Structure 1
Amino acid sequence: MHASWSPLAGSASKSSNSSSWIANYAALEATGVLPASSPRLPADLSEALQRELRGAASEGGPLRTLRFHDAVRASVDGEPLLRTVGPLATLFAASLGSEQLCRSSSSRAALRSGSGATYAGGGLSGGGQFAGLSAAAGAVGCSLLRILGEKPDKRAWLYTLAAELTPAGVVAVLDRCQMSDNTRRLDNGEARTPGGVFSQEAKRFTRARGRAAQPVDLPRLRPYQRDVVGMVLSSWGLRLTDELLRGEDGGGVAGGAAATTAAAAPTPAQLRARYQAMARDWSGNWLVMSPTGSGKTRMFVEITRAVADDVQQTRGRGALVLVLVPRVLLTQQQADAFGSAGLPDTHVQCFSSDNQLTPAAWEKAVEARSAGRRTTTVLVCTPDSYKNLLLVAHPRGLLREAPTQVDLLVLDEAHHCHDDHAYARIVDVLVAPAPAMRLLGVTASPAGDEDMDELANKMSDLLGSLRAELHVVDERLPDVAAVLATPTAKAVRVQRRPVDWRLADALRLCSVDVALDIGDALSSAAVADGRAADARAALLESLGDIAAVAEAAAGGPANRAQANYITSLLGKAEELVEDAGVEGVLPFLARKAAALCRQQCSVGNSSGGDVALRVSDLVKNIMGRGGSGPGLLTACAGPSGEWAAEVVRDCFQSGVAQEGRTFPKLWALIQYLSEEYGSRECFHGIVFVKTRQAVFHLADVMRRSGQLQFLQVYELVGHNDASKKRGALPVEPDRHGRGMSDAEQQEILRLFKAPGRKVLVATSAAEEGLDVPSCEFVVRYNAAITGIQLLQSRGRARMRVSQFVCILQEHTLDERMDSRSALQVANMASYALNRAAQQQQMP
Structure 2
Amino acid sequence: MFVSHPMVKPDTIEDREYQRSMVEEALRGNTLVVLPTALGKTVIAELVAAELLHRHPGCRILVMAPTKPLVLQHRQSFLKHLNISEDEGIAITGEVSESVRKMAWGSPSVRIVFSTPQTAFNDYRRGWIRLEEFALLVFDECHRSRSRYAYTRLASEYVRRCPWPRVLGLTASPGSEEEKVLEVVKNLWVEKIVWRTEEDEEVSSYIPGVKVDWVRVEIPHEYEEVRKAIREAIENRVRHLQRFGVVRVPVEHVNRTILVQAMARIRAEIDSGVKGQNMHYMALISEILSLYHAQELIESQHIHSLREYLREVMHSELRSHRMLSGSEDFRKIIQLAAKSQADHPKIEALVQRISQHLSEKPDDRIMVFANIRNTAEVIVSRLTELGYRARMFIGKGEGKTGPKMTQQEQIRLLKEFREGVFNILVATSIGEEGLDIPECGYVIFYEPAISGIRYIQRRGRTGRKLPGKVTILIAEKTVDEYYFKEGYRRARKMAKILENISKKIQDIRVERRGPEPRPGEPWPWRRETIQVATTKESTVEDDEAVYIEASKISSGELLRCRRELYNKLLQAGVKGLSMAEALSQLSYSPDVVRMSMNRLVRDGLAVKTGEKYVAKAVIRASKKPDKIHEIRIEKVYPGFAIVVVDEEFRARLDPAAYHGPRDLIRKGSKFKANATIQKIEGITTIIIHDVLHS
Same fold (TM over 0.5): yes
1:403-459 residue CA offsets vs partner (Å, 9 max, x unmatched)? 32433110112222223433223322323443522211122312313xxxxx2x544
Q: Does 1:585 align with 2:306?
A: yes
Quick one: structure 1 residues 418 and 588, their matched pair in 2 at CA, closer, same or farther if it must change by over 3 Å?
Answer: closer
Cα distance change, pair 227–665 in 1 and its aligned pair in 2 (3 A): same
Say if 1:835 and 1:535 are closer, same or farther in 2 by CA, change over 3 A. Answer: closer
CA distance in 2, matches of 1:697, 1:770: 24
Secondary structure in structure 1 of the residue aligned to 2:167: strand
- Indicate if the aligned counterparts of 2:25 and 2:31 stay in contact, CA closer than 8 A: no
Which of 126, 151, 154 is residue 423 of structure 1 equivalent to?
Answer: 151
Alpha-carbon shift at residue 722 of structure 1 (Å): 1.7
Note if 1:502 corresponds to 2:225.
Answer: yes
Partner SS state of residue 431, structure 1: helix
Q: Is the 8 A contact 1:330 1:770 kept in 2?
A: yes
Give, in whole Å, the separation in 2 of the partners of 1:289 and 1:383: 20
CA contact (8 A) 1:473 1:836 kept: no
* C-alpha contact 1:308 1:376 (8 A) present in aligned 2: no
Gaps of 5+ in 1: 1-214, 236-283, 370-374, 450-454, 516-533, 549-566, 601-609, 638-643, 651-660, 724-733, 839-843
Q: Which amino acid aligns with 2:76?
A: D
1:577-620 deviations in Å (ceiling 9; x for gaps): 24443244336656996xx69xx9xxxxxxxxx99x998x997x
- The residue aligned with 1:350 is 91
SS at match of 2:170: strand
Q: Distance in 1 between matches of 2:141 and 2:488?
A: 20
Alignment of 1:60-209 (within 5 A): none
Secondary structure at the residue paired with 1:715?
strand
The CA deviation string for residues 494-536 of structure 1, in whole angstroms up to 9 with x for no partner, is 1233432432454577799999xxxxxxxxxxxxxxxxxx999
SS in 2 for 1:702: helix
Rounded to whole Å, the distance in 1 between the matches of 2:174 and 2:11 is 30
Cα drift, residue 304 of structure 1: 1.1
The answer on whether the counterparts of 1:411 and 1:442 sit within 8 Å (CA) in structure 2 is: yes
Cα deviations by residue, 1:19-58 (Å, 9 ceiling, x for unpaired): xxxxxxxxxxxxxxxxxxxxxxxxxxxxxxxxxxxxxxxx
1:699 corresponds in structure 2 to 380
Could you tell me which amino acid in structure 2 is paired with residue 810 of structure 1?
Answer: E
Shift of 1:794: 0.7
Q: Deviations over 1:88-107 (max 9, x none)?
A: xxxxxxxxxxxxxxxxxxxx
Aligned counterparts of 2:106 and 2:374: Cα–Cα separation in 1: 45
Aligned partner of 1:397 among 110, 127, 143: 127
Q: Show the counterpart of 1:669.
A: 350
Secondary structure at the counterpart of residue 31 of structure 2: strand
2:392 paired residue among 715, 719, 731: 715
Determine the structure 2 residue equivalent to 1:226. Answer: 20
Secondary structure of the corresponding residue to residue 38 of structure 2: coil
What is the match of residue 32 of structure 2? 287
Contact 2:300 2:475 in 1 (8 A): no
Structure 2 equivalent of residue 48 of structure 1: none
Pairwise mapping of residues 672-691 of structure 1 onto structure 2 (< 5 A)?
672-678=353-359, 680-691=361-372
CA 1:794–1:328: 2 relative to 1, 3 Å: farther
Where does residue 79 of structure 2 map in the other structure? 339
Q: CA deviation at 1:342?
A: 3.8
Distance of aligned partners of 1:491 and 1:420 in 2 relative to their CA distance in 1, 3 Å threshold: farther
User: Secondary structure at the residue paired with 2:37?
Assistant: coil
> Is the Cα–Cα contact under 8 Å of residues 143 and 171 in structure 2 kept in the other structure?
yes
1:804 maps onto 2:470 in alignment: yes
Q: Which amino acid is the alignment partner of residue 347 of structure 1?
A: E
Residue number in structure 2 paired with 1:377 = 111
Name the amino acid aligned to 2:46: V
Counterpart selection for 1:464 from 158, 170, 186: 186
Cα distance per residue 1:214-259 (max 9 Å; x no partner): x8952232222222223433x3xxxxxxxxxxxxxxxxxxxxxxxx
| Aligned-residue offset at 1:801 | 0.8
Q: CA deviation at 1:465?
A: 2.5
Indicate the residue corresponding to 2:280 in structure 1. 540
Aligned-partner Cα distance in 2 for 1:589–1:628: 13
Among 485, 489, 509, the alignment partner of 1:819 is: 485
Residues 212-251 of structure 1: pairs in structure 2 closer than 5 A: 217-233=11-27, 235=28
1:767 aligned to 2:561?
no
**Residue from 763, 779, 790 that aligns with 2:444:** 779
Residues 1:739 and 2:473 aligned together: no
Conserved 8 A contact 2:299-2:479: no
SS at match of 2:88: strand
Counterparts of 1:378 and 1:310, CA distance in 2 = 15
Task: Determine the structure 2 residue equivalent to 1:208.
Answer: none
Is 1:407–1:437's contact at 8 Å kept on the other side of the alignment?
yes
Task: Kindly provide the amino acid, as one letter, of the partner of residue 366 in structure 2.
Answer: G
TM-superposed deviation, 1:481: 1.4
SS at match of 1:721: coil
Higher strand share: 2
CA distance in structure 2 between the partners assigned to 1:680 and 1:458 by the alignment: 41
- Mapped to 2, the partners of 1:489 and 1:812 lie a distance apart of 21
Change (3 A) 1:582 1:292: closer
Report the residue type matching 1:635 in the other structure.
L
Distance change (3 Å), C-alpha of 1:587 and 1:396? closer
3-state SS of paired residue (1:800):
coil
Contact 1:448 1:828 in 2 (8 A): yes
Q: 1:767 deviation in Å?
A: 0.2
1:368 corresponds in structure 2 to 107
Count the aligned residue pairs: 459
Deviation at 1:784, TM superposition (A): 0.8
Say if 1:773 and 1:799, in contact at 8 Å, map to a contact too.
Answer: no
Could you tell me which residue of structure 1 aligns to residue 631 of structure 2? none
The residue matched to 1:407 in structure 2 has which SS?
strand
Whole-angstrom CA distance in 2 between matches of 1:592 and 1:546: 12
Cα deviation for residue 486 of structure 1 reads 1.7
Deviation at 1:671, TM superposition (A): 1.3
Q: What is the TM-score when the length of structure 1 is the normalising length?
A: 0.49
The aligned counterpart of 1:562 is none
1:32-47 matches, cutoff 5 A:
none
Whether the 8 Å contact between 2:393 and 2:427 is mirrored in structure 1 is yes
The answer to whether the 8 A contact 2:60-2:136 is kept is yes
Q: Which amino acid aligns with 1:672?
A: R
User: Structure 1 residues 810 and 420, CA, compared in 2 at 3 Å: closer, same or farther?
Assistant: farther
* 1:320 counterpart (43, 51, 60): 60
**For 2:503 and 2:204, how far apart are their aligned partners in 1?**
17
Match of 2:50 in 1: 305
Q: Which has the higher helix share?
A: 1
- C-alpha contact (below 8 Å) 1:776/1:802 kept by paired residues: yes
Shift of 1:311: 3.1
Q: Counterparts in 2 of 1:447-526, with a 5 A limit?
A: 447-449=175-177, 455=178, 457-468=179-190, 469-473=192-196, 475-476=198-199, 478-507=201-230
- Which whole-Å deviations, capped at 9, do the CAs of 1:109-134 have from their partners, x for residues lacking one? xxxxxxxxxxxxxxxxxxxxxxxxxx
Q: 3-state SS of the aligned residue for 1:683?
A: coil
| 1:302–1:812 distance in 2 versus 1, CA, 3 Å | same
SS of match in other structure, 1:379: strand
Amino acid of the structure 2 residue aligned with 1:576: L
Q: CA deviation at 1:359?
A: 4.3
Q: 1:477/1:783 Cα in 2 relative to 1: closer, same or farther (>3 Å)? A: closer
SS at match of 1:788: helix
The one-letter code matched in structure 1 to 2:411 is Q
Amino acid at match of 1:759: I
Q: CA distance change for structure 1 residues 614 and 715 in 2, over 3 Å: closer, same or farther?
A: closer
TM-score (norm 2): 0.58
Structure 1 residue matching 2:441: 3-state secondary structure: strand
Q: State how far apart, in whole Å, the 2-side matches of 1:688 and 1:582 are.
A: 18
